[in-house]
Amino acid sequence: MDAVKHLLLTRFKTLTLILVAISFSLVLLMLRMKLHQSFFFLFLIWNLFLAVIPYLITLYLSAKPHLSLWTFILGFMVWVLFLPNAPYIVTDLIHLRRANVTYLWLDILVVLSFALSALFLFYLTLIDMQHLIKANFKTKLPMVTLTNGLLFLCSFGVYLGRFLRYNSWDIISAPKSLFTTIFNMLKAPYQHQAIWLFTLGFGCFLSLGFWMFKHIRSPQQEQTNKSAIV
């Protein structure tokens, strides 16, 4: 319990930013519902909820003072299954083709606000997982390679969800259909060029975003680092 309190206190600023981002998204959505008299974008709340799950998993694992191997493995497996749900919201921009011209700007803001909130959670949980692996396990695989592998795997998962309509639960509810589809794609890659182009393009987008997110520094931090070097 003390470990959880300590973690919440040390992450107070981050958790506050997450709460502000999500609250802003919800306010925009409610405004859209009021102006349009439509509940069409209500699914964004569910999508964002799914995007929160990986962050909660790494938050929980980080709070454990003595993380066992099996606890980590189980948490990691569930984490990987839900991880693509965060960047998936970016592809909800496809629904803008159904937007009302009069309030198109509002629809853009609604989807983008949910997408940015999800990406914020996505990059935070990736950094948390990096720290968990470094702190608890020795691996010969470079962290950059492992992270990029996860990012492109997420991109592949997003394609399965957006265009083939699979979701995280299908690995339990419909595993045969899911794995058969993936096997057919791998068996005949030239017949499924669209998925590999999407995986490559979206994966590069996520990788670039993560690199920028992880290496960004405030002016105060940069000044502190320069002073330390001098």
Q: How confident is the model at residue 136 (pLDDT cuts 50, 70, 90)?
A: confident
Q: Residue 64 carries which DSSP code?
A: -
Is 225 inside any structural domain? no
In the block, tokens 């394609």 appear at 159
Confirm whether 38 is domain-assigned: yes
d(CA 212, CA 123): 10
Task: Evaluate whether residue 71 is within a structural domain.
Answer: yes
Range of the domain at 66: 2-217
To the nearest whole number, what is the mean pLDDT of the chain?
Answer: 88
pLDDT digits (tens, 9 = 90+) for 88-115: 999 999 999 887 788 899 999 999 999 9
In a domain, 16, yes or no: yes
**Residue 163 belongs to a domain:** yes
**25: CB partners within 8 A, 6+ apart:** 44, 48, 110, 113, 114, 117
Helices 104-136 & 143-162 angle (0-180, nearest 10): 140
Picking from 23, 45, 27, 46, the residue whose alpha carbon sits closest to that of residue 35 is 27
Confidence of residue 30 (pLDDT cuts 50, 70, 90): very high
How many domains are there within the chain? 1
pLDDT higher for 65 or 2? 65
Give the percent of the chain with pLDDT over 70.
91
**Residue written as token pair 């083939």:** 164
pLDDT of residue 101: 81
Q: What tokens appear for 182 in the block?
A: 């993936």
Confidence at residue 63, expressed as pLDDT on a 0 to 100 scale: 86
Rounded mean pLDDT, 14-32: 95
Q: Is residue 183 part of a domain?
A: yes
